[in-house]
Structure 1
Amino acid sequence: MCIKSSVGLHGTNSKTDVKVIQAALNLYTSGSFLLESKLTVDGQIGPKTIQAITLLQKSSVQISKPDGKVDPKGKTLKTLKQGVTKGLSEYALAAIMAHGKSSVINKYFPLLQNNLSRYQINSPLRIAHFLAQVGHESLSFRYTEELASGANYEGNLALGNTQSGDGVRFKGRGLIQLTGRSNYSEYAEYSRIDLMKKGNEVLVALTPAYALDVSLWFWNKRRLNTKADKDDLRGVTYRVNGGYTGLQDRRDYLDRAKFFLLP
């Protein structure tokens, strides 16, 4: 379900759910419904959002007594889903990455537009699964560097950490995190970015284009499109996480993405 609780007049109005409805109203193009001006996708319920819901109910939902509220299993949400312009738009991305800052999300939107197809993430289902994973892993693009110091990776030969200080130096970075000397070296060779020069490893976290590309590279390396094509959230999650940590949160991201991307 793309929203978990009611949105609108006397609704629960969780910030995440409100963002979904605001974005959907902006993207609704069916029937005679027309907003005078687009809503700000900020998760704050107010008169403009409630008025837009009521207008939709009057013009397109055809319910006898519009109540200005969208329920998770109600007719208004069903109508919205059917009439939303499908595809990855700035409004849709703001709703999918509901925990993120608009200024950061706006930086990633053109990068996604220009780079997803380079890795054959070129179907609505593939895009939805990719966004679900990077959304959870980075908390909606908020984090591109592991919060822990990385000291626990010191001497981890499985990660190729053979030199003193490698744990901290090659800690997790990226939307889907690149971790360990071996992985940094492999990606550096692939991308031709000199990440092995001391001090350059932080570029993966500091540069949005690199933070995204390393995640796309990982996605391609792990052949995750094949799992996405089967709509296998558990399978995708296991290959990203090595387990199922945060599975429900990943599912929530996926549900929001599917609402805006899939028919």
Structure 2
Amino acid sequence: MTPQLLAAATGIAPQRAAAWAPLLERALDEFGVRSPAAIAMLLAQVGHESGGFAHLQENLNYSVDSLLRLWPRRFDAAMARRYGRIDGQQRAVPSAIANIAYGGRMGNGPAASGDGWRYRGRGLIQITGRDNYASMQSRLGVPLLEQPDLLLQPPQAARSAVAFCRHVIPGFVAAAEARDLAACTRMVNGGLHGLADRQARWERALRALEV
């Protein structure tokens, strides 16, 4: 994975590609991801989740309307107005949003435990939830449960993305080789959020990698 190839496959700036290419190359080798089709899909999913390799932490600055649309079973109208962003009037409360949205699932304790905020999305592919942090801790050999911010370090951000797609969701490589974008997106995201952007990124990566 050269910087030139990464820039062509993702559309990111050469300077950013130069920083990420060696980290991704090492991670792909470490976790045995060699299929060009799988690499293209991984780059597309990572590109979307990280906003073009720019963001390593989940943005929880949700508006009231977004909270009601994304988590209708977690936020009623009063809760959304209390914690969501109202432009020109009120800032969002990211910690409360994470605790409510992610509390009591993905291995997290209830909202009051703070696990939702503690194990919010981090890394290139936005590892989320205590169970996934525990799995990544085992795969990466770093104490993520105690120090979740380690996923904000570029080497661990890259390693976690590749390890997640290779081992935590083992069907990812097969689905990528079958060119099933929707299946891979569901594995990564839990739904089809941002599918059009993922598809555009995927098609670009396929061309660059000559798949």
User: Structure 1 residue 210 and structure 2 residue 156: aligned?
Assistant: yes
User: Structure 1 residue 182 and structure 2 residue 131: aligned?
Assistant: yes
Which position in structure 1 is the counterpart of 2:33?
121
Structure number, greater radius of gyration: 1
User: Structure 1 residue 154 and structure 2 residue 99: aligned?
Assistant: yes
Is the Cα–Cα contact under 8 Å of residues 4 and 14 in structure 2 kept in the other structure?
Answer: no
Unaligned ranges ≥5, structure 2? 61-93
Report the CA distance shift for 1:157/1:129 in structure 2 as closer, same or farther (over 3 A). Answer: same
In 2, Cα distance between the equivalents of 1:247 and 1:258? 16
Which position in structure 2 is the counterpart of 1:96?
9
In 2, Cα distance between the equivalents of 1:229 and 1:117? 18
User: Structure 1 residue 260 and structure 2 residue 208: aligned?
Assistant: yes
User: Offset at 1:161?
Assistant: 2.2
Number of corresponding residues: 172
Amino acid aligned to 1:112: L
Which position in structure 2 is the counterpart of 1:131?
43
Which position in structure 2 is the counterpart of 1:144?
56
Report the CA distance shift for 1:150/1:104 in structure 2 as closer, same or farther (over 3 A). Answer: farther
In 1, Cα distance between the equivalents of 2:135 and 2:5? 34
Is the Cα–Cα contact under 8 Å of residues 185 and 196 in structure 1 kept in the other structure?
Answer: yes
User: Offset at 1:217?
Assistant: 1.8
User: Structure 1 residue 173 and structure 2 residue 122: aligned?
Assistant: yes
In 2, Cα distance between the equivalents of 1:210 and 1:115? 9
**Using CA pairs below 8 Å that are at least 6 residues apart, which structure has the higher relative contact order?**
2
What is the SS of the residue equivalent to 1:130? Answer: helix
In 2, Cα distance between the equivalents of 1:91 and 1:190? 29
Is the Cα–Cα contact under 8 Å of residues 44 and 198 in structure 2 kept in the other structure?
Answer: yes
User: Offset at 1:246?
Assistant: 1.2
In 1, Cα distance between the equivalents of 2:47 and 2:183? 17
In 2, Cα distance between the equivalents of 1:150 and 1:213? 26
What is the TM-score normalised by the length of structure 1? 0.60
In 1, Cα distance between the equivalents of 2:32 and 2:45? 16
In 2, Cα distance between the equivalents of 1:196 and 1:165? 13
User: Offset at 1:237?
Assistant: 0.9
In 1, Cα distance between the equivalents of 2:13 and 2:3? 13
Which position in structure 1 is the counterpart of 2:195?
247
Q: Report which of the two has the higher share of helix.
A: 2
What is the TM-score normalised by the length of structure 2? 0.74
Report the CA distance shift for 1:136/1:218 in structure 2 as closer, same or farther (over 3 A). Answer: same
